[in-house]
Amino acid sequence: MGLPVGATLVIWIVVIGVLYWQVFRFLPPANAPAESAVWSMLLMVVILIIGSWQLLRTLPVAEKYGAWDAWWFWNYHAKFLSRPDLWERAYTTGGKELLAARVSHSDYPLMLPSTVGFLWRLLQTTNNLIPFLVGLFFTLLIPLLLLSELARKNILFAGLVFWGLLHNPRYVDVGLTQNADIILAFALLSSFVSMYHYQKDRSRGTLFLWAAGMGMCLWVKNEGIALAVAFFMVYLPVIFRNRENWAALLGIVPFLAALLIFKIGYAPSNDIVSSLAPETLRKLSDGSRYRTVWIGFSD
C-alpha cells in the first residue's frame, strides 16, 4: 500500500487493541474460590515451564533456513515484500506474467510472507531468525490455546495434552519448518474454539473471533480458502439464527479484502489449476468416481 512502516505499525496496534477489547469484554466474571484459583495458577506455571523446556530441547535440530518450500517460496516472497523496489518490480511492473516468471507459487496468499517481510523491514534486517521466530510463535500458540481451553475442564489433562504436543517431534518439526501449515492449523483450531463458545454464549465477541479465524484461513494458503468456505457453509444455519450478531462477521473483512485485491489485481492464475487438461476436469466432475471412493472408505 506504500504506507510508512511506522504508520503500518500503528494500524496493527489499533487492530490488535480492538481484537483484545472484543474478546475480553465478553468474558464472564470469575467465580472460582480464591484458593483454588491460586493452585490452578501455580500448576499452570509449572506446566508452562515444563512445556517450554521440552520445546527448547528441540530447537537445535531445527533447520536454519527452514524446509525447502520455506526458502524456495515463503521466505522468497517475503524478500520481495520487504523491499519497495523489489515489490514494485515483481508485483506491479510488467503485470502478472512477470510475477509468475519471477516468483514460484506466486498466486499463494501472502499472510506469512507479508508478516515476515514487514518484520524484516521494521527491524532493518533480513536475518533468518525472524521467520524462525514467527514459526515458533505459532507452534507455541496451538498447545497454549488447547491448554487454556482444556484447563476449564481438567487442568491435569490439559497439562498432559500441552506436554504431549510439545513432546511430539513430528509436530515440532512441522512447526519449525517456517511454512504456513502451522498458521493454518492455528487458524482452524481457533475457529473451532470460537464457534464452540459462540454456540454457548451467542456473543458478538466470539463470533468476531470466529470470523477472524476464517479470514486467517483465507489469507494464509490456497487450501485455507477451501477449508474456510466449507467451514462457513457448515455453520451458516448457526449464524442465521442470531441476525443481531451479524455485524461481528466484520472480523473476516480485512483478510477477505486483502485476498481479493491480491488475487484480482496481482496474482497470476494458479500454476496447478491452469495446467489441468480437459480430461482432468471431466474426471473431477464425474460423480461415479466419488461414489467409488465413498464405497471404498465405507468397506
Which are the contacts of 297, defined by CB distance < 8 A and separation ≥ 6? none
Please report which confidence band the pLDDT of residue 97 belongs to, taking 50, 70 and 90 as the band edges. Answer: low
pLDDT given at position 112: 92
pLDDT given at position 25: 47
- Asked if the model's pLDDT at residue 197 lies above 80, the reply is yes
The larger pLDDT score, comparing residue 294 to residue 252, is at 252
pLDDT in tens, 235-263: 888 777 777 667 677 888 889 999 998 88
Look at 29-43, 107-121, 215-229, 273-287 and tell me which has the smallest mean pLDDT: 29-43
pLDDT in tens, 167-191: 788 888 888 888 899 999 999 999 9
pLDDT given at position 27: 43
Residue listed under C-alpha cell 470470523? 211
Q: String of b and e for 202-233 (b: at least 16 CB within 10 Å)?
A: ebbbbbbbbbbbbbbbbbbbbebbebbeebbe
Are 216 and 256 a contacting pair, CB within 8 Å?
A: no
Closest to 143 (Cα-Cα) out of 19, 271, 48, 282: 48
Cα atoms found within 13 Å of the Cα of residue 163, Cβ hemisphere only: 15
pLDDT given at position 51: 62
Mean pLDDT of all residues belonging to the chain: 76
pLDDT given at position 71: 81
The larger pLDDT score, comparing residue 118 to residue 91, is at 118
Report yes or no on whether pTM surpasses 0.85.
no
The larger pLDDT score, comparing residue 298 to residue 76, is at 76
For residues 214-231, average pLDDT: 91
- Asked if the model's pLDDT at residue 20 lies above 60, the reply is no
What is the amino acid identity at position 37? A
pLDDT given at position 13: 59
Which are the contacts of 208, defined by CB distance < 8 A and separation ≥ 6? 19, 22, 248, 249, 250, 251
pLDDT in tens, 107-141: 889 899 999 998 998 888 888 889 988 988 898 88
CA dist., res. 159 & res. 161, Å (int): 5
pLDDT given at position 287: 82
pLDDT given at position 44: 61
Please report which confidence band the pLDDT of residue 63 belongs to, taking 50, 70 and 90 as the band edges. Answer: confident
pLDDT given at position 96: 55
- Asked if the model's pLDDT at residue 271 lies above 70, the reply is no
| Integer angstrom CA distances of residue 94 from 89, 91, 99, 264 | 8, 8, 8, 15
> Does residue 29 come out as left (phi exceeding 0), alpha (psi in the -120 to 50 range) or beta?
beta
pLDDT given at position 17: 59
pLDDT given at position 65: 78
Please report which confidence band the pLDDT of residue 101 belongs to, taking 50, 70 and 90 as the band edges. Answer: low
